[in-house]
């Protein structure tokens, strides 16, 4: 850890220690790192005697595969304080990733940002940002050490969920020896590894098979760009009787072909928006491509929401991949 990062962690710890009420927010459409990091820190704060409020922007839906994550103080965004005192933002590289809660972040008396995205825009009063961290949870763990707030089994489950999901089950290159050391400590503290593995990776409603089949039947391979892509529509989900949160793991199937370095899943919503999920084997920085489309992420995993057709969005990604070669 750099001296500057250590100083910022100590500064944030002082603010949190002195606060009576702390509000927390993570990025819209929370993944395991966003939700796990937010709840892990919020539960620790409540255990330390703080009043806590947690939320994320619309749509206010916790994905089914993260429904086991312990929560505390969770309110819909329209019940979030308009002018928070101390507010902590987790796993968001910019205020617009908070959706409507970005406005509340701008009103906070003290805004602490904890994030590991290399695309972080540097917003907030205290920015605990490290693009080399494997997950935001690693930074939360450092902050908890500074605060000397105990890590209970609930907190351990939250943070271990964050680590497992954002490292691709400890496969991505950002995974370091210290990541495994943290994971070992969380398991020792009581992290529910059975639930994490089963809920995140081994559960889906039966309709998922039909929706996945529809998407897989449309898969295309651009051999020149080394990109595999497909589209899944809101109509596919309606016919299968499932929701968007039920297909979070579909991108992991799309990325299987050995011929492709980059995989793209374009999700077309009823309002015309297309949400892109991208993965890379390492030859292409999909985080940079996502940033160019108004999104963000990391070299190996990223996403963006665009206002164009699914075919246009995929073509834009393929063009960017070719340009980056």
User: Cα separation of 122 and 169, whole Å?
Assistant: 28
pLDDT at res. 89: 98
**Token pair in block for residue 81:** 């304080």
DSSP assignment letter at 241: T
Give CA separation, 240 vs 170, 214, 234, 247, 250, in Å.
32, 10, 10, 11, 14
Q: Would you say the pTM of this structure is higher than 0.85?
A: yes
**Which element (helix H / strand E) includes 90?**
strand 86-90
| Domain made up of 3-200: CATH architecture | Alpha-Beta Complex (3.90)
| Cβ neighbours around 323 below 10 Å, total | 10
Q: Is there a common fold for 3-200 and 208-324?
A: no
Going by C-alpha positions, the residue among 173, 251, 221 that lies closest to residue 321 is 221
Going by C-alpha positions, the residue among 138, 202, 120 that lies closest to residue 175 is 138
pLDDT at res. 157: 98
58, 80 contact by CB (below 8 A): no
Contacts of 55 (CB under 8 A, 6+ apart): 23, 24, 25, 74, 75, 76, 77, 79, 80, 101
Give CA separation, 323 vs 93, 145, 229, in Å.
25, 44, 17
Residue 228, strand partner residues: 221, 263
pLDDT at res. 40: 98
pLDDT at res. 286: 95
User: Cα separation of 221 and 55, whole Å?
Assistant: 39
pLDDT at res. 102: 97
pLDDT at res. 64: 87
278, 226 contact by CB (below 8 A): no
Chunked into runs of 10 residues, the chain (325 residues) has average pLDDT values of 92 98 96 97 98 96 92 98 98 94 97 93 96 96 98 98 95 92 98 94 94 98 97 98 92 96 97 95 94 88 94 97 93
- The ranges assigned to domains in the chain are 3-200, 208-324
**Which element (helix H / strand E) includes 113?**
strand 110-115
3-state SS assignment for residue 142 = helix
Class (C level, CATH) for 208-324: alpha beta
pLDDT at res. 209: 97
């Amino acid at each position: 850890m750099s001296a500057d990062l250590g100083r910022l962690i100590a500064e944030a710890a002082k603010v949190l220690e002195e606060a009576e009420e702390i509000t927390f927010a993570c990025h819209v459409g929370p993944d395991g790192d966003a939700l796990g990091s937010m709840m892990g820190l919020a539960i620790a704060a409540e255990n330390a005697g703080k009043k806590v409020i947690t939320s994320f922007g619309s749509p206010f839906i916790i994905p089914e595969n993260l429904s086991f994550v312990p929560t505390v103080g969770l309110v819909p965004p329209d019940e979030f304080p308009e002018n928070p005192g101390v507010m902590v933002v987790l796993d968001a590289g910019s205020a617009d990733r908070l959706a409507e809660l970005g406005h509340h972040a701008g009103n906070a008396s003290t805004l602490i940002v904890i994030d590991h995205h290399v695309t972080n825009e540097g917003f907030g009063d205290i920015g605990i940002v490290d693009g080399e961290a494997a997950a935001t949870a690693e930074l939360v763990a450092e902050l908890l050490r500074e605060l000397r707030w105990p890590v209970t089994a609930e907190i351990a489950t939250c943070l271990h969920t964050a680590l497992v999901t954002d490292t691709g089950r400890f496969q991505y290159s950002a995974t370091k020896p210290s990541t495994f050391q943290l994971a070992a400590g969380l398991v020792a503290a009581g992290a529910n590894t059975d639930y994490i593995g089963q809920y995140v990776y081994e559960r889906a409603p039966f309709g998922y098979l039909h929706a996945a089949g529809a998407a897989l039947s449309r898969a295309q391979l651009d051999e020149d760009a080394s990109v595999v892509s497909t589209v899944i529509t809101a109509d596919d989900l309606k016919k299968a009787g499932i929701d968007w949160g039920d297909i979070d793991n579909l991108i992991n199937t799309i990325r299987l072909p050995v011929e492709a370095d980059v995989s793209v899943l374009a999700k077309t919503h009823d309002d015309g928006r297309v949400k892109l999920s991208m993965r890379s084997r390492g030859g292409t920085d999909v985080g940079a491509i996502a940033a160019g489309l108004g999104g963000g992420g990391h070299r190996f995993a990223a996403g963006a929401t665009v206002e164009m057709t699914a075919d246009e969005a995929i073509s834009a990604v393929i063009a960017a991949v070719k340009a980056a070669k």
